[in-house]
Each structure stands twice: as C-alpha cells, then as structure tokens.
Amino acid sequence: MDIIIAAVIMCCLGSVQAYNKAVLSLYVQRFSGEGTYVGRGQTGACQMGPDFPPVATHPRIKSLVAINAEQYSGSIACGMCFRVRGKGVGTGSDPIQGDFYVFVNDICPECKEGDIDLAEEGDGSWEVEIQAVQCPVGNTKIEYKFQGSNPWYIKLQVRNARIPVNSIMVDRDGQPHPMKHTADGFWELSDGLVELPIKLEMTAVNGESVRDIITRIESDVVIQGENGVQFSRDNRLPHA
C-alpha cells in the first residue's frame, strides 16, 4: 500500500477508534442517570426520520430517545438501541418505570452520563439505568441514505445496523480510502472522484467487517445495498 494512503488511513482511523472502547463499554456496563421527556417528534441530530429504518419501528422498541452528549460518542450512537430500566423514583407526574427498549435518534446536549430524553409527552425527572443492546433487526439488512451527494462529494448515512459502524473504507482504484465520520451521523468522502458502483467495507465497534456495494447515488432516498449485508449477532454482547 502506498505510504501516503496508509498514513491517511491511520490518521482517520485514530479519530474513530477513540470512540470504540467507549461505545463498547455501553454494552457491558449499566449507567445510572436521569430520564426526562422531550415531547413527541421525528426530528433529531441523527437525521433518521421521517423515513426511519425498520428497526426503529420494531414492536420491541418503545420510543425514540435523545442520549446524553458524552455517550453520543461523536454520533456513533446514532441508530443504537438501549435497554432502559426505570425505577419509578423521582419527581413529576409521569414516572419512568419497568424495562423497555429505545432507539437513539438525537443528542441531549445538557444531559450528563447515563441521562436520556424520551421522545414522548410526559412530566418529571426519574432515576433510570441504561445499557446498550444489539438492535432487534431480525432478518432486515443494512440500508443507506445519501445527503447532498455527487460523485465528487459523498455524504452517506448507514442505517438499520445491528451494531454501530466504527469505520468505513471505500474502494478507489483498488485502494481503500477512509470515510470521515460527521457529528450528525453520516460518513463523508470529498477528496476525489468516486466511481460507481461504490464498494464499501464497514467495520462495527466489535471488530466485525462486512462488504457491500451501492450502485447509485441518489440523495434523500433510502437505498438497499447489492450484497444485502448485516452484522452478525454477537453472543458476547446483550441484545434486544
């Protein structure tokens, strides 16, 4: 591999690998915090709606949620699923209690570690525990959505993944080129022409890699990959 290309890859990978350990810790630990309500709505920093991926409307997912800024992990948490355990302890008229699953669609900038904002109407602040789980994707596949893209500038959202993606490589002239992760849950590539079909290698936070092919660039439309890939269920991590 060309020395310059290798250096670019290592630089870009370093920025996303900083989140790898932090995101994995969300699966192996329970975090205590406060649960509050932000009101119903389909907008959010992750820009998943209004055409949400299949997992967001799975029967086991009770609510969309905004996660605290620290555990948002630079938007790697966009599209993740969490188990919430409400203790019914707090102040207000609508206690959060029992176990249920939520889908991350937003960031709560003022929230502290362990805090969440439910996208529901409600009142009060309540003690909760949160823990990441593998999303209940069933037999559905990873999806894609471009934003403002063309062959010279790619901004790509990876949707409906069982486990969040930590890095993406795009094949260009037989060489892997890293995409840059954005604060709004997308991946960017803007340093040259990308010819169709776009060949991707995506690596999840647990280290598993899958390869897919995107045959067209069309912004604001959900696109299926040609290979129809999904990350495997990892028996080391909890799942919904």
Cβ–Cβ < 8 Å for 86, 95: yes
- Whichever domain contains 160, its CATH number is 2.60.40.760
Mean per-residue pLDDT for 116-125?
96
Model confidence over 24-52: pLDDT tens digits? 999 999 999 999 999 887 679 999 988 99
Quick: pLDDT tens for 134-178: 999 999 999 999 999 999 999 999 999 999 999 999 998 889 999
Number of domains in the chain: 2
How much is the pLDDT for 41? 75
Q: What is the CATH number of the domain that holds 42?
A: 2.40.40.10
pLDDT at 21: 80
Global model pTM greater than 0.85: yes
| pLDDT attached to residue 19 | 52
Question: Does one domain contain both 8 and 105?
Answer: no
DSSP one-letter code for 81: E
CA–CA dist 99, 93 (Å, integer) = 19
Phi-psi region of 124 (alpha: psi -120 to 50; beta: other; left: phi over 0): left
pLDDT for residue 2 = 42
- Tell whether the model's pLDDT for residue 189 goes beyond 80: yes
Within-domain flag for 237: no
Show the domain range for 170: 3-17+138-224
